[in-house]
Amino acid sequence: MQKVIEGFLKFQKDVFPERTQLFKQLAQSQSPKVLFVTCSDSRVVPELFTQQEPGDLFVIRNAGNIVPSYGPEPGGVSATVEYAVAVLKVTDIVICGHSNCGAMSAISSCQNMDQLPAVAHWLRYSDCAKAIVEAQSHATQHEKADALVRQNVIAQLANIQTHPSVAVALAQHRLNLHGWVYDIENGVIDALDGASKTFVPLSENRQVVAT
Protein backbone atom coordinates (compact mmCIF):
# COMPACT_ATOMS: atom_id res chain seq x y z
CA MET A 1 0.00 0.00 0.00
CA GLN A 2 2.87 2.34 0.69
CA LYS A 3 3.87 2.08 -2.96
CA VAL A 4 0.40 3.25 -3.96
CA ILE A 5 0.56 6.21 -1.57
CA GLU A 6 4.01 7.18 -2.83
CA GLY A 7 2.65 7.02 -6.37
CA PHE A 8 -0.15 9.43 -5.50
CA LEU A 9 2.27 11.85 -3.84
CA LYS A 10 4.42 11.80 -6.97
CA PHE A 11 1.32 12.48 -9.08
CA GLN A 12 0.32 15.34 -6.78
CA LYS A 13 3.78 16.89 -6.85
CA ASP A 14 5.00 16.28 -10.41
CA VAL A 15 2.13 15.32 -12.72
CA PHE A 16 -0.88 17.31 -11.54
CA PRO A 17 0.81 20.74 -11.71
CA GLU A 18 1.69 20.13 -15.37
CA ARG A 19 -1.90 19.18 -16.27
CA THR A 20 -3.80 21.70 -14.18
CA GLN A 21 -5.89 22.99 -17.07
CA LEU A 22 -6.99 19.49 -18.08
CA PHE A 23 -8.13 18.64 -14.58
CA LYS A 24 -9.95 21.97 -14.24
CA GLN A 25 -11.95 21.07 -17.34
CA LEU A 26 -12.60 17.54 -16.12
CA ALA A 27 -13.77 18.85 -12.76
CA GLN A 28 -16.75 20.44 -14.54
CA SER A 29 -17.84 17.69 -16.92
CA GLN A 30 -16.88 14.63 -18.92
CA SER A 31 -17.51 13.76 -22.56
CA PRO A 32 -15.89 10.42 -23.37
CA LYS A 33 -16.69 8.99 -26.79
CA VAL A 34 -15.80 5.38 -26.03
CA LEU A 35 -17.23 2.91 -23.54
CA PHE A 36 -14.45 0.39 -22.88
CA VAL A 37 -15.42 -2.93 -21.30
CA THR A 38 -12.48 -5.03 -20.19
CA CYS A 39 -11.23 -7.42 -17.53
CA SER A 40 -10.34 -6.55 -13.94
CA ASP A 41 -6.96 -8.26 -14.44
CA SER A 42 -4.26 -6.01 -13.02
CA ARG A 43 -2.15 -6.49 -16.15
CA VAL A 44 -4.81 -4.93 -18.37
CA VAL A 45 -4.72 -1.12 -18.25
CA PRO A 46 -6.78 0.26 -21.17
CA GLU A 47 -5.69 3.87 -20.70
CA LEU A 48 -2.07 2.70 -20.98
CA PHE A 49 -2.24 0.48 -24.04
CA THR A 50 -4.56 2.88 -25.90
CA GLN A 51 -2.60 5.93 -24.70
CA GLN A 52 -5.71 7.88 -23.72
CA GLU A 53 -5.99 10.86 -21.42
CA PRO A 54 -8.19 11.11 -18.32
CA GLY A 55 -11.74 11.70 -19.52
CA ASP A 56 -11.31 9.90 -22.85
CA LEU A 57 -12.57 6.44 -21.86
CA PHE A 58 -15.64 5.45 -19.87
CA VAL A 59 -14.49 2.12 -18.43
CA ILE A 60 -16.22 -0.98 -17.09
CA ARG A 61 -13.91 -3.62 -15.59
CA ASN A 62 -14.95 -6.98 -14.22
CA ALA A 63 -13.86 -10.62 -14.19
CA GLY A 64 -13.96 -11.86 -17.78
CA ASN A 65 -15.03 -8.54 -19.40
CA ILE A 66 -18.64 -9.68 -19.15
CA VAL A 67 -21.83 -7.81 -20.04
CA PRO A 68 -24.90 -9.72 -18.83
CA SER A 69 -27.91 -9.72 -21.14
CA TYR A 70 -30.47 -7.09 -20.18
CA GLY A 71 -33.03 -8.40 -17.70
CA PRO A 72 -35.74 -7.42 -15.25
CA GLU A 73 -33.18 -6.81 -12.51
CA PRO A 74 -30.35 -4.93 -14.23
CA GLY A 75 -27.17 -4.61 -12.21
CA GLY A 76 -24.23 -2.26 -12.14
CA VAL A 77 -22.92 -3.21 -15.57
CA SER A 78 -26.32 -2.61 -17.17
CA ALA A 79 -26.66 0.75 -15.43
CA THR A 80 -23.22 1.83 -16.59
CA VAL A 81 -23.89 0.78 -20.19
CA GLU A 82 -27.19 2.66 -20.14
CA TYR A 83 -25.61 5.82 -18.74
CA ALA A 84 -22.76 5.72 -21.24
CA VAL A 85 -25.03 5.30 -24.26
CA ALA A 86 -28.16 7.26 -23.28
CA VAL A 87 -26.57 10.12 -21.32
CA LEU A 88 -22.94 10.45 -22.37
CA LYS A 89 -23.82 9.52 -25.97
CA VAL A 90 -20.69 7.46 -26.59
CA THR A 91 -20.18 6.66 -30.27
CA ASP A 92 -18.23 3.44 -29.81
CA ILE A 93 -18.21 0.49 -27.44
CA VAL A 94 -15.19 -1.78 -27.15
CA ILE A 95 -15.37 -5.18 -25.46
CA CYS A 96 -11.78 -6.21 -24.86
CA GLY A 97 -10.61 -9.63 -23.77
CA HIS A 98 -6.98 -10.48 -23.18
CA SER A 99 -4.41 -13.25 -23.35
CA ASN A 100 -3.96 -15.62 -20.41
CA CYS A 101 -7.26 -14.57 -18.85
CA GLY A 102 -7.75 -16.36 -15.54
CA ALA A 103 -11.52 -16.36 -15.85
CA MET A 104 -11.48 -17.93 -19.31
CA SER A 105 -8.79 -20.43 -18.28
CA ALA A 106 -10.93 -21.52 -15.35
CA ILE A 107 -13.95 -22.05 -17.60
CA SER A 108 -12.06 -23.86 -20.36
CA SER A 109 -10.39 -26.25 -17.93
CA CYS A 110 -13.64 -26.86 -15.98
CA GLN A 111 -11.91 -25.74 -12.80
CA ASN A 112 -13.78 -26.55 -9.58
CA MET A 113 -15.11 -23.29 -8.17
CA ASP A 114 -17.19 -24.62 -5.30
CA GLN A 115 -15.29 -22.29 -2.97
CA LEU A 116 -15.98 -19.32 -5.23
CA PRO A 117 -19.77 -19.38 -5.70
CA ALA A 118 -20.03 -15.72 -6.67
CA VAL A 119 -17.34 -16.13 -9.32
CA ALA A 120 -18.93 -19.31 -10.63
CA HIS A 121 -22.32 -17.59 -10.93
CA TRP A 122 -20.82 -14.58 -12.70
CA LEU A 123 -18.96 -16.70 -15.24
CA ARG A 124 -22.20 -18.41 -16.29
CA TYR A 125 -22.69 -15.36 -18.51
CA SER A 126 -19.99 -16.93 -20.70
CA ASP A 127 -21.91 -20.21 -21.13
CA CYS A 128 -22.63 -19.51 -24.80
CA ALA A 129 -18.94 -19.08 -25.57
CA LYS A 130 -18.09 -22.16 -23.52
CA ALA A 131 -20.59 -24.30 -25.45
CA ILE A 132 -19.11 -23.25 -28.80
CA VAL A 133 -15.54 -23.94 -27.70
CA GLU A 134 -16.48 -27.31 -26.16
CA ALA A 135 -17.94 -28.35 -29.52
CA GLN A 136 -14.61 -27.69 -31.23
CA SER A 137 -11.35 -29.63 -31.07
CA HIS A 138 -8.16 -28.02 -29.76
CA ALA A 139 -4.62 -29.35 -29.76
CA THR A 140 -3.75 -28.02 -26.32
CA GLN A 141 -5.44 -26.56 -23.27
CA HIS A 142 -3.75 -23.24 -24.03
CA GLU A 143 -5.33 -23.15 -27.49
CA LYS A 144 -8.70 -23.98 -25.99
CA ALA A 145 -8.43 -21.13 -23.48
CA ASP A 146 -7.29 -18.76 -26.23
CA ALA A 147 -10.29 -19.73 -28.35
CA LEU A 148 -12.59 -19.11 -25.40
CA VAL A 149 -11.18 -15.61 -24.91
CA ARG A 150 -12.24 -14.80 -28.46
CA GLN A 151 -15.61 -16.53 -28.30
CA ASN A 152 -16.34 -14.74 -25.04
CA VAL A 153 -15.78 -11.35 -26.70
CA ILE A 154 -18.26 -12.38 -29.40
CA ALA A 155 -20.75 -13.58 -26.77
CA GLN A 156 -20.55 -10.33 -24.79
CA LEU A 157 -21.05 -8.31 -27.98
CA ALA A 158 -24.27 -10.27 -28.49
CA ASN A 159 -25.29 -9.70 -24.86
CA ILE A 160 -24.76 -5.96 -24.98
CA GLN A 161 -27.07 -5.66 -27.98
CA THR A 162 -29.98 -6.84 -25.78
CA HIS A 163 -29.71 -3.60 -23.80
CA PRO A 164 -32.43 -1.17 -24.95
CA SER A 165 -30.17 1.86 -25.04
CA VAL A 166 -27.66 0.02 -27.20
CA ALA A 167 -30.35 -1.40 -29.50
CA VAL A 168 -31.78 2.09 -30.07
CA ALA A 169 -28.38 3.65 -30.74
CA LEU A 170 -27.49 0.89 -33.20
CA ALA A 171 -30.84 1.30 -34.98
CA GLN A 172 -30.15 5.02 -35.28
CA HIS A 173 -26.66 4.32 -36.68
CA ARG A 174 -24.95 6.42 -34.03
CA LEU A 175 -23.04 3.62 -32.32
CA ASN A 176 -20.37 1.14 -33.40
CA LEU A 177 -19.37 -2.03 -31.54
CA HIS A 178 -15.82 -3.37 -31.44
CA GLY A 179 -14.44 -6.67 -30.19
CA TRP A 180 -10.76 -6.73 -29.25
CA VAL A 181 -8.30 -9.22 -27.78
CA TYR A 182 -5.20 -7.69 -26.22
CA ASP A 183 -2.02 -9.79 -26.17
CA ILE A 184 -0.19 -8.81 -22.99
CA GLU A 185 3.16 -10.35 -23.87
CA ASN A 186 3.43 -9.03 -27.40
CA GLY A 187 1.58 -5.73 -27.06
CA VAL A 188 -0.75 -6.32 -30.00
CA ILE A 189 -4.52 -6.28 -30.45
CA ASP A 190 -6.65 -8.47 -32.68
CA ALA A 191 -10.02 -6.99 -33.62
CA LEU A 192 -13.20 -8.75 -34.66
CA ASP A 193 -14.10 -8.14 -38.30
CA GLY A 194 -17.88 -8.26 -38.37
CA ALA A 195 -17.89 -8.99 -42.11
CA SER A 196 -15.69 -12.08 -42.00
CA LYS A 197 -16.42 -13.05 -38.37
CA THR A 198 -12.69 -13.45 -37.78
CA PHE A 199 -10.14 -11.64 -35.63
CA VAL A 200 -7.60 -9.62 -37.59
CA PRO A 201 -4.61 -7.49 -36.52
CA LEU A 202 -5.88 -4.06 -35.52
CA SER A 203 -2.64 -2.43 -36.71
CA GLU A 204 -3.47 -3.51 -40.26
CA ASN A 205 -7.23 -3.05 -40.05
CA ARG A 206 -7.79 0.24 -38.28
CA GLN A 207 -11.35 0.77 -39.57
CA VAL A 208 -12.67 -2.69 -38.70
CA VAL A 209 -15.83 -2.92 -36.59
CA ALA A 210 -17.74 -5.83 -35.09
CA THR A 211 -21.14 -4.56 -36.25
Residue 14 lies in a domain: no
Q: pTM of the predicted model, to two decimals?
A: 0.95
Q: In which domain, by residue range, is 139 found?
A: 33-204
- The pLDDT, as a whole number, for residue 73 is 80
Number of structural domains in the chain: 1
CATH code of 95's domain: 3.40.1050.10
- The pLDDT, as a whole number, for residue 74 is 80
Sign of the CA dihedral with 156 first, then 163, 82, and 169 last: positive
Residue 11 lies in a domain: no
Residue 40 lies in a domain: yes
How high is the mean pLDDT in each 10-residue block of the chain (211 residues)?
A: 97 95 96 98 97 97 97 91 98 98 93 93 95 93 95 98 98 98 98 96 96 87
* pLDDT tens, position by position, 98-143: 999 999 999 999 889 999 999 999 999 999 999 999 999 999 999 9
Tell me the residue ranges of DSSP E strands in 71-201: 92-98, 176-183, 188-193, 198-201
